[in-house]
């Protein structure tokens, strides 16, 4: 990477950490410039507007999610091993990738009723995730690992709901056994859908 790309990456890393704890909107160009030790105009050389910065932050989070959560899971055998790897990777993502947890959960709470290009990007990322899980379930059905007659979209809904619930209970309620409960729910889910 060149110096410009290194600087841009440092800005995105800092922005992601801030977004995870404060949300997208409070992360201003000025605040971010101060955090990375550069001028506002220097930061504007990398991102033309706050909206551009927010979109880039979401794309960077998505790229990391694919590398750390989704791609390793897709390398596992179809069926339970693949979904279990996805689930475990997500728990690791939620617990350790960013100081405030999943950037997508923070952004979703903030943007769910805010129309515009930033919300549109988040919606696209989340739809792709929903579809990826449904595809993993479909592959499990086709390989005979999961029951015939399952609705992959319903399974995707249930798995995402489980993970969102884990995030809420562990972060907001500070429930000490949230992970154990999530793992129990996942095991019940796998038992129910397995052939």
Domain 55-193, second-level architecture: Orthogonal Bundle (1.10)
Classify residue 107 by burial, with Cβ atoms within 10 Å: 0-12, 13-18, 19+: buried
pLDDT at 2: 65
User: What pLDDT, on the 0 to 100 scale, is given for residue 152?
Assistant: 98
Own/partner long-range contacts of 39-42 (Cβ < 8 Å, ≥24 apart)? none
pTM of the model: 0.90
Mean pLDDT of all residues belonging to the chain: 90
Cα 122 vs. chain centroid, distance in angstroms?
10
What pLDDT sits at residue 74? 97
- Listed as ranges, residues in the chain with pLDDT below 70 are 1-2, 4
pLDDT, residue 32, reads 85
């Amino acid at each position: 990477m060149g110096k410009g790309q290194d600087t841009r990456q440092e800005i995105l890393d800092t922005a992601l950490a801030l977004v995870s704890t404060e949300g997208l909107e409070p992360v201003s160009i000025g605040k971010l410039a101060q955090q990375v030790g550069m001028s506002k105009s220097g930061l504007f050389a990398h991102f033309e507007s706050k909206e551009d910065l927010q979109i880039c932050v979401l794309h960077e989070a998505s790229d990391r999610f694919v590398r750390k959560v989704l791609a390793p899971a897709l390398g596992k055998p179809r069926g339970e091993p693949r979904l279990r790897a996805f689930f475990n990777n997500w728990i690791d993502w939620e617990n350790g990738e960013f100081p405030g947890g999943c950037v997508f959960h923070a952004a979703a709470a903030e943007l769910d009723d805010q129309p515009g290009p930033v919300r549109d990007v988040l919606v696209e990322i989340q739809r792709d995730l929903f579809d990826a899980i449904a595809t993993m379930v479909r592959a499990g059905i086709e390989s005979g690992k999961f029951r015939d007659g399952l609705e992959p979209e319903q399974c995707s809904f249930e798995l995402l709901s489980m993970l969102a619930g884990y995030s809420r209970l562990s972060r907001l309620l500070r429930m000490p056994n949230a992970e154990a409960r999530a793992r129990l729910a996942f095991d019940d889910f796998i038992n129910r859908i397995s052939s």
